[in-house]
Amino acid sequence: MATRYFSVPLRLLVAIAGTALVSCGTTSPLKNPLRAEQVLYEWYDDGGPGEVNININLTEQRATYFRGKREIGWSFVATGKENHNTAPGKFKITEKIEDKHSNSYGWIEDDAGNVTNGDAKPSTPVPPGEHYVAAPMPYWMRLTSYGVGMHAGIIPRPGEPASHGCIRLPKPLAPQLFAVTKVGTPVTIIY
């Protein structure tokens, strides 16, 4: 059975309730009907025979997951944005760490937890009373020696790049994929 991840925003529930309340009227107060958020992934791995392999399409910002030659799922991903492009090529997972934090990127926040710089590096000067927070990269699966890998993360606009070069996976999918991959799992990245 496929696992689907999506959520119904509160604004959608309010819109539906509002529409129901004015259904006897001649006009609707909604000029732009709202819809449920986009499905970010489907996972239907049966755990059967065959090794897992992954194909990532940079143009579509979409990954397809296989066990042998059988497709076992797909997801949107968020790869490197301009000036931080994710390189195409053939890779293998070389390291897996369930709870990793970035050595290169993070943010600066004040003592109340308010982010004052959302795109900081460890070398970024930190104002007094604030501190640097390394970006979390849960379910880390390294692909390159220079720090590119796959991990759970935010996909702010499905279909558009958003990372510093890593491949962000939908948060609910990442532990499932992490569980079925191993060091040596092939990953092909194409345009």
Residue 11 has pLDDT above 50, yes or no: no
Q: What pLDDT shows up at residue 38?
A: 87
| Residue 24 structural domain | 1-37
Taking the CA atoms of 99, 177, 145 and 132 in sequence, report the sign of the dihedral they define: negative
pTM of the entire structure? 0.79
Do residue 24 and residue 77 come from a single domain?
A: no
pLDDT digits (tens, 9 = 90+) for 103-137: 999 999 999 999 999 999 999 999 999 999 999 99
Q: Reduced to 3 states, what is the DSSP secondary structure of residue 75?
A: strand
Instruction: Decide if 73 is inside a domain.
Output: yes
* CA-to-CA separations, 142 to 3, 94, 96, 100, 134, in angstroms, rounded: 25, 6, 6, 11, 17
Looking at the structure, tell me whether residues 108 and 163 fall in a common domain: yes
Residue 2's pLDDT band, with cuts at 50, 70 and 90, is low
- Residue 73, SS3 per DSSP: strand
Considering the domain architecture, whether residues 7 and 96 belong to the same structural domain is answered as no
- The average confidence (pLDDT) of the chain is 86
Tokens of 110: 């004040």
Q: List the one residue out of 164, 141, 128 whose CA is nearest residue 65.
A: 141
Both 69 and 138 in one domain: the answer is yes
Residue type, 8: V
Q: Is residue 45 part of a domain?
A: no
